[in-house]
Amino acid sequence: MKPAHKAAAKGAAPDLSELRPGQSLELLRELHILTREGRLNQDSRRKLKQVYHLFQFIEPLLQELSQDGHAPTLADHGAGKSYLGFILYDLYFKALGRGHIYGIETRAELVDKSRALAQRLGFGRMSFLNLSVAASTGAAELPERIDIVTALHACDTATDDAIAFGLQKQARAMVIVPCCQAEVAACLRQGKALQLARTPLAELWRHPLHTRELGSQITNVLRCLHLEASGYQVTVTELVGWEHSMKNELIIARYTGQKKRSAAERLRAILAEFGLEQALGARFGLEPVSAVV
């Protein structure tokens, strides 16, 4: 027999104090953030915390871009079930009355489900494209310019494709949570014996676990330098606490137009130091030093 206080708690009204005012409960049920009974469980609280935390970084960017009647555009790469896109629309775009969100995802079944949900909720200024990140850059369904580019856990080189998309679309801001960076680690493994003979620094990636971790770290450092060399101011912070996710790095880039020569030089130097020029030089768009101001 269950204790009386537990039975009473079960029949009590759901505690939704953690939700933002005016948020669509139907949307949260469809995203499985709320249970069928309209409650939050431990897993859904974790998801909600991550999305809300990310929203705190994106909302000021949207407010800035919405000034003077501008209709902001946002492209979300590797959208998955479009948690982020739907929450952004519900909390910001819906009340704004203008602007558009594009969800880009390779899994057709998720794109179809997102389209159906947007139609059911009346979220008319959301579009979902069944495309890879790389293919989306030249897609006719997308405008020539996109204000904000987001990519949450776009695996391996898809994060770099998202950055390339943002540069091509002259994005005013990019919000990136990198994931599963395997390419640099593979390059480090290939030249490990030679590097161990050349420099004691190769001890940093002698063991397989360290190779993977250092490869991830180098990749994100290169991405930040690439953005700075391309005219962006870069901030690196945590998305949420480590107890929620080990893929926790959040890169926020805001366009200033001031291309840093030193960033391009250090990018080139790091590629040379780790023997990555041939494999990754083109990916990070290295230009002659004289062309960067």
DSSP string, 206-222: SSHHHHHHHHHHHHHHH
Strands across the sheet containing 126-130: 126-130, 100-105, 73-77, 148-155, 173-179, 249-255, 232-238
Q: Interior CA angle at 83 toward 24 and 81, to 5°?
A: 120
| Whole-number CA gyration radius for the chain | 22
Residues of the chain with confidence (pLDDT) below 50:
1-8, 242-245, 288-293
Structure-block tokens of residue 289 = 């030093």
Phi, psi torsion values for 37, nearest 5 degrees: -85, 0
Query: 235, 233, 61, 53: which is closest to 147 by C-alpha?
Result: 61
DSSP H helices, the chain, are: 4-11, 25-30, 42-65, 83-88, 94-96, 108-121, 133-136, 158-168, 183-190, 192-198, 208-229, 261-273, 277-280
Domain coordinates of the chain in residue numbers?
42-180
The whole-number pLDDT of residue 290 equals: 47
Residue identified by tokens 């101011």 is 233
The whole-number pLDDT of residue 48 equals: 83
The whole-number pLDDT of residue 257 equals: 96
Structure-block tokens of residue 210 = 């360290």
**Is residue 46 classed as helix, strand or coil in its secondary structure?**
helix
Give 90's DSSP letter: I
Query: 234, 112, 242: which is closest to 174 by C-alpha?
Result: 234
Query: 221, 184, 237, 31: which is closest to 117 by C-alpha?
Result: 31
155 and 247 Cβ atoms separated by less than 8 Å: no
Structure-block tokens of residue 181 = 């960076």
Give 243's DSSP letter: T
**Is residue 75 classed as helix, strand or coil in its secondary structure?**
strand
Q: Give helix 158-168 / helix 208-229 axis angle, nearest 10°.
A: 0
Residue identified by tokens 């000021």 is 60
* Fold classified for 42-180: Rossmann fold (3.40.50)
Other CB atoms within 10 Å distance of the CB of residue 125: 17
Per-residue pLDDT of 33-42, as tens digits, reads: 888 778 887 8
